[in-house]
Copies of this chain bind each other. A is one copy, B any other.
Amino acid sequence: MHHSFFQASTSGRKAPWLLLLLCVGLLWQTAAAQEIKSPNANLTLTFALQADGVPTYRLTYKGREVIKPSKLGLELKNAPALTSGFAVAGTKQATFNETWQPVWGEVKTIRNHYNELAVTLTQAATQRTLLVRFRVFDDGLGLRYEFPRQPKLDYFTIKEERTQFALAGDHKAFWLPGDYDTQEYSTVTSNLSEIRGKMKAATTPNASQTPFSATGVQTPLMLKSKDGLYINIHEAALIDYSAMHLELDDQSFVLTSHLTPDAVGDKGLIQTPANSPWRTVIVSDKAGDILESKLVLNLNEPTKFKDVSWIKPVKYVGVWWEMITGKSTWSYTNQENIKLDSIDYSKVKPNGTHGANNAHVKEYIDFAAKHGFDAVLVEGWNTGWEDWFGKHKDYVFDFVTPYPDFDVVELNRYAASKNVRIIMHHETSGSVRNYERHLDSAFQFMNKYGYNAVKTGYVGDIVPLGHHHYDQWVNNHYQYVLEKAAEHKIMVNGHEAVRPTGLARTFPNLIGNEAARGTEYEAFGGNNADHTTILPFTRLIGGPMDYTPGIFQTKVSAYNPQNTSFVHSTLARQLALYVTMYSPLQMAADLPETYNQHLDAFQFIKDVAVDWDDTKVLEAEPGDYITYARKAKGKTSWFVGSTCDEQGRTSKINLSFLDPSKKYVATVYADAKNAHYEKNPQAYAIRKMNVTSKSKLSQYCAPGGGYAISIMEAGAAR
């Protein structure tokens, strides 16, 4: 289906009513059309008003329809909708072109280049003004609503945002069930028309979950059209607004925004002037372009932090996987039903399985120091874990009281003496008021004892009940924590929080998020073997993920005989993830005792960088494979990582990204020929070879496997 568009001179104050156009199968009555193109002219954005004053937009890529004419607007609570009856009061076009340097990132320098169209709409009947701003980049589109300060629109409540993304067909989709409280679902790969039939099975149990529809899905949503267009829909700069889901009309393949409601069903309390987050459409005919897109970051504001010297990428180990597998416990006792204000832990019988004890933490510190890690995460250090979970308990943790066997002074002293930091852990159990009440003292405690990073957690339903992990009120909580942390020069890694939307550009102390099924699920039944071939196309579009790779002992039963789960990955692929799952915060998640048995493979984790000057996608197809090459920050070395699905494949790459004037030594950590993520995951082979920019490589990846390569300049120190 193809549509014609009028281009009218509508930059004046009044929009002339043009003739009606009846398109085949779709009534798209353009009253005032405006068009802008991407800097490279591949993308064309057309804005038009329908005859009834409904604003619409359309996006094409090399003449192919990405977003068919789609409506814009919002419904308000107890007020007329901002969806129709508009006239164009004025339009404004602009071009922007700059480069900027992220505090940390996949590349040293990011280009922010777009053409912009701002359309001012007036609704005569209500004397209200709404502005829609479009930015068209070479890699996609951002659009947002702007609500200027005005007498007739000062405060309002959003009933629903009605932004459509009308797709051109029954695309293949990589989707998660839409949910107000969790993204920890396995990605389902299916055509859009199949979502309804697969929704129930896809909605697996979670500690807190609120699915909302048989065809509702989450963002970032990755799509592939039958004719090979790769399309990603997400949002950028989610601040003081509810997170957006997408509701699919599986007859027309129109996606419509669906915001997360608060406890009374409202979807946003807005005071003008205000902007919505950006709604983003990244598009290309090459899958790797989606991965290389910086559109979401570019649509966030530059940071206002004056000093960013305290923000540093972190490679860490931690007292964590042993609790996840069930080998040890977060809790100090087996007592249930405890009250923080009355329990005396010195009088309670210890369970003997508490992981975060002094001697054991020192072992981790020793291991971290020996192998050059920056930090040790310690979970379960503080009182309250006996009944932290699933009780809707308000005063669940105080964030400053260690268990009797965790000496906060001594352990931080010991760590510091070995040039290692302990990473703080603040599990909130979703009790956000309780966390806010203790936030100042908790951060002061961190400053006092030498912590500079915190992993936060929001397991379980939000307390107070009725709120959701992704509603405006709770999003504002995460934002509050982030800003308070910055005041204390603390880096934040937020788990179970809202999915990232590029906010780390503005708040670069947000060095990590979970917001998807991480490695922990390998101990809870396992992730799909193709999971890591999808996440970079979905979850990671918004920002880095603390995926916690590096599990060498793929049989969980080795740590806990009762746990029959296994890691759906070969060992070699676990190495690749340090490259394919971009994060400035990378964990070596397995236990020191296991790494000590595989020090040859472990060498890659020690070597791999966590901050980069450059990144190339060498191969990519969502759900099938991804191969990245990245150049270490400030160094000549490169690292390559490749992950494939359960089929296995042979990856063919060339090393033309290398400096032609240099010689390198490559160390390849690869699946052995008989490796298999389920049957033979630990079979790997390591080989070294001399390479240059002219080298080509054909490398086998086992089913559920992958490979990692470190490429060091010949003669250079590691």
Q: A residues bordering B, Cβ < 8 Å?
A: 149, 154-155, 157, 262-264, 266, 269, 271-272, 336-337, 339, 387, 391-394, 433, 436-437, 440, 464-467, 473, 476, 480
Contacts and interface: CB of A to CB of B under 8 A. Distances in A.
A391 B263 contact: no
Nearest to A390: B155
Contacts of A149: 337
17 contacts: A149-B337, A154-B337, A155-B337, A155-B392, A262-B464, A263-B464, A263-B465, A269-B392, A271-B337, A271-B339, A271-B391, A271-B393, A272-B337, A394-B476, A433-B436, A436-B436, A464-B464
A427 B686 CA distance: 68
Q: Please name the 6 residue pairs, one residue from A and one from B, whose CB atoms are nearest each other, closest first.
A: A263-B466, A263-B263, A154-B337, A264-B466, A155-B391, A264-B465
A497 to B, nearest CB: 17
Nearest to A440: B440
A639 B476 CA distance: 54
A336 B150 CA distance: 10
A174 to B, nearest CB: 33
Contacts of A433: 433, 436, 473
A445 to B, nearest CB: 15
Contacts of A157: 392
A316 to B, nearest CB: 31
Contact of A437 (B155, B272, B465, B480): B480
A269 to B, nearest CB: 6
A393 B156 CA distance: 10
Contacts of A264: 263, 465-466
- Indicate how many identical chains form the complex: 2
A393 B473 contact: no
B336 A154 contact: yes
A478 to B, nearest CB: 13
A83 B464 CA distance: 27
A262 B465 CA distance: 8
Given A154-B391, A155-B392, A263-B464, 6 more contacts: A271-B339, A271-B393, A433-B436, A436-B436, A440-B440, A464-B467
Contacts of A476: 394
Contact of A464 (B154, B437, B473): B473
Scoring A155, A157, A393, A464 by chain B CB atoms within 10 A of each residue's CB, the highest score goes to A464
A337 B149 CA distance: 8
Contacts of A266: 465
Contacts of A271: 337, 339, 391, 393
Nearest to A466: B263
Contacts of A387: 154-155
Contacts of A437: 436, 480
Nearest to A480: B437
Contacts of A436: 433, 436-437
Contacts of A391: 154-155, 271
Contacts of A473: 394, 433, 464
Scoring A436, A440, A466 by chain B CB atoms within 10 A of each residue's CB, the highest score goes to A466
A482 to B, nearest CB: 14
Nearest to A157: B392
A469 to B, nearest CB: 14
A410 to B, nearest CB: 29
Nearest to A441: B440
A342 to B, nearest CB: 9
A339 B274 CA distance: 11
Contacts of A339: 271
A147 to B, nearest CB: 11
Contacts of A269: 392-394
Contacts of A262: 464-466
B155 A393 contact: yes
A433 B465 CA distance: 15
A271 B338 CA distance: 9
Contacts of A394: 269, 473, 476
A393 B157 CA distance: 11
A670 B154 CA distance: 52
Contacts of A155: 337, 387, 391-393
A481 to B, nearest CB: 11
Contacts of A464: 262-263, 464, 467, 473
A391 B269 CA distance: 9
A80 to B, nearest CB: 19
A403 to B, nearest CB: 20
A271 B387 CA distance: 11
A387 B154 CA distance: 10
Nearest to A432: B433
A266 B157 CA distance: 25
A263 B264 CA distance: 7
Scoring A149, A339, A433 by chain B CB atoms within 10 A of each residue's CB, the highest score goes to A433
Nearest to A473: B464
Scoring A149, A269, A393, A440 by chain B CB atoms within 10 A of each residue's CB, the highest score goes to A269
Contacts of A392: 155, 157, 269
A595 B680 CA distance: 93
A157 B264 CA distance: 20
A157 B390 CA distance: 13
